[in-house]
Chain A
C-alpha cells in the first residue's frame, strides 16, 4: 500500500427516515446518537457525519460486537464495516483497500464484483465512473475476479468525503424504525405469550419508550409466569435500553368477574378490565398510548365484535401492530427478536383456569355493559393499581422503580 496515513476500520450506521424529518432532524439525530452510545461497548466513539453515524470501537473490541449493537438500535437502516483512508491518499491506497476486501470475498466464494463509488466531495478530481474503472481494473488484475455491474457477488462501496475515503464490502441490515425516545411513551400489555412481546417490539421500533403491564393472578398463576414476563421485558430492553414493567395485582379483579359476570361474557369483561387497568397505569407512567398483541380472528376474543367491545373502554389510542399479521409471521419475528424461546416456556397461564367453556364470540356492547353492571369498576381498578408493583427492567436485570429509599425518580 502506498501513500497517506494508514487505514482504520470503523462502522458506518446509515439512517434513512430520520434524515427526512426536516426541522426535527437534529432532535432525531441526537436521539439516535444517544441510543447508539448506550448500545455500544464503553469507550466507543460515536460521531454524526454527513447523515451517517461514524463509530470507532475501542481497541480490542471485535467489529461483530459493534455491528450487533448497532443492529439493536432503532433508526439504523444499515451497518457497514468500513475502512477509513484519510485524505490525501493516492489511488494506490484505495485500490489496495479494495483488493483486500475482494480477496476476503474471493476466499468466501465470490467470483464477480463491482465498485460503486460516490462523491460527496464534488471537488475531488476523479469522477465516480473514473474511480470505478481505475479501482475495478486493479481488483480484477490482482484477484482474477470478473466485473459484473448488474449482479455482482461483491459490491465494494466507496464514499469520497472531504476528510477521508470510506470503503466497504458488506452492507448489513439494521432494525429500521425511528430512534427510541422520539415518539413519546406507550404501555404494552404483556401476557407471557408469543404475540404481545412482538407487538411491543414493533411499537417500540417506531421510536416509543416502553412501559409494560403484566397482570398477575397469584395464587392461580405462580411466579414462574411473572419470571417469564420479566425475561421478555429484558429481551425488549435490549433494544430500547429499559422497560418499565408493572406487575399488576389482578387476582381480586379476576375473582370479582368470576363472581359477578355471566360465564360466556367473562373473557370480554376481563379484557375490558385489563385495558382499564392498563390505562390507569398509563396515567402513572405518563404514557400516551396502549399496545396490545391482538390479531384479528386469531382466537375467540379477537373477532371484530369482541375487539370493539373491549377497545371501547380505552380513551387513549390503542395500538395493535399485529392486527393483520398471521401467526407464522408473528412467530418468525418472535424468533428473530429473541422472545420466542421465552414465550414457549411451559408455565401456567391463568386464562386456561378461568376460561369459560363457551365464550361469547360476538358480544354486543349493550350486553357487555349490562354484564358489567354488578362490578364496581373504578374501585376495583384503583385498589388493584395501589397493590401493583413497578420494576425497571434493563438487559442486565431488574430493580424496583422508583428505587427503594427514594432517589430522584
Chain B
C-alpha cells in the first residue's frame, strides 16, 4: 500500500459518476457488434427491426427493463428509457405539469434540489407558474407535515430528490407520498431517485409515487442512459409528439448499449451491498476523525440509515485547515484522492453550494466543505488510503490563504 502509486488511488467521487462495472461492460460489448462474436450474434441490430436479430436486441432491452422495474417495484410497462437523470427529471416535471396545467399552476419543491430539477422548476416559474420551495432542517431533511401544509387544491406537482446529492440526506418519501395523497389527491409526486437507486429502498410503485428519475452511471452503468418510472395511469405530455419508440415518450433509435449496461449494473447490485458501503463510509469518518478531530459532518447523522444515504459523506474542514474547498480538493488530488466541492455539475461555478446554504451553513464552514462519495466498486483499501493521506495532504499545504 505504501509503494509508489501509478495514478488515482482513492476514487471517492461516486456521486458524480461511477466506473462501469465489468458486468455492465460485458453486456454492452455483446450489443455493440464490434468484435467478431457479437458481430455474428447480430445483437447490434436495431431493436425496432422486425427480423430476428432486431427482436433479439429488443429482448436485451426487455431484460434491462425488467431489472429497472424490479428496483422500483413496478411493471415493465411503467419504465421509459431516457438519456439519464436530467432528461428524466425534465420529462417528468414538464410533462406532468403541461398535462395538468388546466387544473392549476402550483408546484412544490425544496431549496436543496439538484440543478436538473431546479432548472425544470425554473422553466415553469418563468412560464408564470408558482413554485413553492420548502426549507429543510440542518440535517437536510424535509418534514412530511411541511409538505402537507404547502400543498393546495390547485397544486399539480410535488417534486423532490429521495437522496440529496451533496449531503446524502434521505427524505421520508413514503410518508411524503401519503401526506400528498391526503392533502391534495390530484397532485402528482415526482421523485429524483438518481442518488437513491441501489443505495436505499426504492419501491416507488408500492409507495404511490407517480414518477421517478433514474440514472445508469451512478450505479456502475454507462453515462448517457437512464430511465423514468411512470406509474400506470399517470398522464404526462411528451415534449415531442408522435415518436414510436419507448411508447411514444422519446424519439430516436434506442441506446441499446447504454440500456443493456444499465440493466446489467442493476442485476449486479448485490443485496446487502448497501450495508457494505455504509460501513466503509463510517470507517472513513472514524479514521479521519482520529487524526483530524476538528472535522464536522454536514447534513444528517451518518450513522442513522433512515436519515443518511450509505454512500455520501459531506465534511467541513474549516476548523482543521482554513482553506477554500477547491484548494483542499486539489491538495487531495495530488495524493491521488478524488472527491468533490459541491456537486460535479456545479463545482466549476464560483458560487457557494445552494444545498449547504439551504442547510444553514455560512462563512468558512460553507466554503471549506468537501463531499466524499462511495460506490459499488469502492475498495476498503481506497478508504484506508484516504484516511492516511488526507491528514498528510493537509499538513503539506501551507495555509497561506484564508477563504474569503
- Interface of A with B (CB < 8 Å)? 218-224, 255, 258-259, 346-348, 353-354
Contact = CB atoms under 8 A, between A and B. Distances in A.
A223 B329 CA distance: 11
A221 B401 CA distance: 12
Q: Which 8 A-B pairs have the closest CB atoms?
A: A219-B330, A258-B400, A219-B331, A222-B330, A353-B401, A255-B398, A346-B348, A220-B327
Nearest to A251: B398
Contact of B329 (A222, A259, A347): A222
B252 to A, nearest CB: 29
Interface of B: 324, 326-331, 333-334, 348-350, 397-398, 400-401
Contact of B330 (A218, A255, A258): A218
Describe B's contact surface by its main secondary structure.
Answer: loop
10 contacts: A218-B330, A219-B328, A219-B329, A219-B330, A219-B334, A224-B348, A347-B348, A348-B350, A353-B324, A353-B401
Contacts of B328: 219
Contacts of A347: 348
A348 B323 CA distance: 14
Contacts of A224: 348
Contact of B326 (A255, A258, A259, A348): A348
Contact of B350 (A221, A222, A258, A346): A346
Contact of B349 (A218, A258, A259, A346): A346
Contacts of B349: 346
Contacts of B398: 255, 258-259
Contacts, number: 38
A1 to B, nearest CB: 50
> Which of B328, B348, B349, B401 neighbours the largest number of chain A CB atoms within 10 Å of its CB?
B401
Given A222-B333, A258-B401, A353 B348 contact: no
Given A220-B330, A348-B326, A259 B400 contact: yes
Contacts of B400: 255, 258-259, 354
A218 B398 CA distance: 12
Contacts of A218: 330, 334
Contact of B327 (A223, A346, A353): A353
B327 A219 contact: yes
Contacts of A255: 398, 400
Contacts of B401: 220, 258, 353-354
Contacts of B327: 219-220, 353
A219 B328 CA distance: 8
A400 B118 CA distance: 43
B331 to A, nearest CB: 4
A354 B327 CA distance: 12
B161 to A, nearest CB: 25
Contacts of B333: 219, 222
A218 B397 CA distance: 10
Contacts of A223: 330
Nearest to B324: A353
Nearest to B326: A348
Nearest to B397: A219
Contacts of B324: 353
A224 B349 CA distance: 12
Nearest to B348: A346
B358 to A, nearest CB: 22
B334 A222 contact: no
> Which of A218, A220, A222, A255 neighbours the largest number of chain B CB atoms within 10 Å of its CB?
A220
A254 to B, nearest CB: 8
Contacts of A220: 327, 330, 401
Contacts of B397: 219
Contacts of A259: 398, 400
A258 B397 CA distance: 13
A54 B78 CA distance: 67
Nearest to A347: B348
A281 to B, nearest CB: 24
A244 to B, nearest CB: 26
Nearest to B396: A219
Contacts of A354: 400-401
Given A219-B327, A222-B329, A258-B401, 15 more contacts: A219-B331, A219-B333, A219-B397, A220-B327, A220-B330, A220-B401, A222-B333, A255-B400, A258-B398, A258-B400, A346-B349, A348-B350, A353-B327, A353-B401, A354-B400
A259 to B, nearest CB: 7
Nearest to A219: B330
A358 to B, nearest CB: 14
Nearest to B330: A219
Nearest to A257: B400
A299 to B, nearest CB: 18
B349 to A, nearest CB: 6
A402 to B, nearest CB: 24
A221 B330 CA distance: 8
